[in-house]
Amino acid sequence: MDLKEIYAELLSDIDFPANEIQQNWMDLEKAYSKKSRHYHNLTHLKQMIESFQVYRDKLENPNEVLFSIFYHDYIYSASKKDNELKSAEFALSILPENSRLNKQFIFDAICATQQHLHNNDEDINWLIDFNLKILAKDWEDYKIYLEQIRKEYRIYPDFLYKPGRAKALKHFLENEFIFQTKEFRDLYEEKARLNIEKEISLLT
């Protein structure tokens, strides 16, 4: 998958001037390639876009969803609580004034990746599920994911990180569903719950 090509094609489609596309890509690549990003990086974007490509036909606003994928973790710091809000604000700030994209949707979609709760807009539910698909990986791949997350939070010692991570994971289990679309529930719900339960057992 050529992320740069997909990105350039999208920005061209949504009325970005050609001279801005290259610079925006360089800024995005730099943001997602910081050394502190062990999970929330370009590989994460690729995985989400793979899901997007599979389910694109089910989306009413595919360009908005794809743009939201590219920018949902643009700003990311493990010590901050407003990453999604800041990312959403940044995403809107770079859109051309004449863009046909639904700016409110993009803002709401990126912010929704913080709480992962069911949304009235089905496109946003798809975005949330693309973001959480990692939870249903085979255990060996899931283990790599949880190790990557731990590295991103390395500023916190175990006595702070472990209960905090366990609390966040338990929040997923307390919800009626982890995934927001029927398709993802049918395919991934059971496996995601087993992985989360297993990780919690390692943390406590």
pLDDT in tens, the chain (204 residues): 899 999 999 999 998 998 899 999 999 999 999 999 999 999 999 999 999 999 999 999 999 999 999 999 999 999 999 999 999 999 999 998 888 899 999 999 999 999 988 999 999 999 999 999 999 999 999 999 999 999 999 999 999 999 999 999 999 999 999 999 999 999 999 999 999 999 999 998
Count how many residues are written for the chain.
204
pTM, two decimal places: 0.96
**Calpha distance 58→6 (Å, rounded):** 19
Contacts 24+ apart (CB under 8 A), 51-59: 51/129, 51/130, 51/133, 52/130, 55/126, 55/130, 55/183, 58/126, 58/183, 59/123, 59/126
Domains observed in the chain = 3-203 (1.10.1300.10)
- For residue 75 the two structure tokens come to 């700003």
In angstroms, the CA 158 to CA 73 distance is: 25
Per the CB < 8 A criterion, the answer to whether 52 and 134 are in contact is no
Q: Are 187 and 129 in contact (CB under 8 A)?
A: no
CA-to-CA distance for 58 and 8, rounded, in angstroms? 23
- C-beta of residue 29 within 8 angstroms of C-beta of residue 43: no
